[in-house]
Amino acid sequence: MARLAPLGVFLLLAAIGALAFYGFLRRRELATKDWPTTPATIISSQIIRTTQAHLRTSLQQRTQLSPREYEISNVWAVDVEYRYQAGGGQRTGHKATSTPVVQEIGKKGAEPGKALQDLSAQLPAGATVDTHYDPANPDNSYLIYRDDPGIASILTLVWILMGVGVALIVVARISR
C-alpha cells in the first residue's frame, strides 16, 4: 500500500500538467472568439454528404512509431461559401463554425440531424452575416463561434486524474 502514495502524487502532477495544457488550448480558442468581424455575404449554403478522416492507430502501433493510418467516415456537413472584405482585399471563406460540425451518416439514419439543419438555416444564401477573421491572416475566417468539445473533455481527464490521485494518497495514509 505504501507504493500507492507516489502513484497518487504522479497522477496529481499529471492532472496539473493536463490543466496547464487545457489553459493553453482554451486561451488560444478564446482568442479566435475575439477576432474582429466584418460583414460577409453568403454565396451558397447547403448540407452535403462528404467524408472526414479520423486518425486510426492502435496504442501498440503508436509506440512503434508506425505511419499514421486514417479511417474515412461518411458524414453530413454544412458546405458554405461567403465573401467579405478584410485586410485590404476581397476574401472568400468556407468555415461555417470555428470548430468543425459534422454528423456521421450511418449512426442517425439517412438524413442530416436537427443540429445541422438548424446551423444551415442560420446561413441562407444571400444573407449578410458577420464573419470573424484572423487579423494576422485575413483569409482565415469563420461565421459562427462554437466551443470546441474536445478541449472541454480535457477537464474531465483532469478531474479523473485528481480524484484517483487523491484517493490513492488517502488509501496509502490510512493503511499506514
pLDDT for 89 equals 95
pLDDT for 54 equals 65
At 104 the three-state DSSP class reads strand
φ/ψ (deg, to 5) at 94: -140, 5
**Displacement of CA 59 from its chain's centroid (Å):** 22
**Quick one: pLDDT band at residue 113, thresholds 50, 70, 90?**
confident
The amino acid sitting at 30 is: L
Specify the number of domains making up the chain. 1
pLDDT for 61 equals 44
Distance CA 34, CA 27 (A): 11
pLDDT for 163 equals 92
pLDDT tens track for 16-51: 999 999 999 888 888 899 999 999 999 999 999 888
Distance CA 87, CA 138 (A): 6
Distance CA 39, CA 89 (A): 13
pLDDT tens track for 50-77: 888 766 554 444 445 555 677 788 889 9
pLDDT tens track for 77-110: 999 999 999 999 999 999 999 988 888 887 555 7
Distance CA 138, CA 145 (A): 16
Distance CA 25, CA 154 (A): 10
Q: Bigger pLDDT: 162 or 52?
A: 162
Q: Is the pLDDT of residue 142 over 50?
A: yes
Its domain, for residue 47, covers 4-174
Supply the pTM of this predicted model: 0.70
% of the chain at pLDDT higher than 90: 50
Tell me how far CA of residue 11 lies from CA of 7, 132, 157, 161, 164, in angstroms: 6, 39, 11, 6, 7
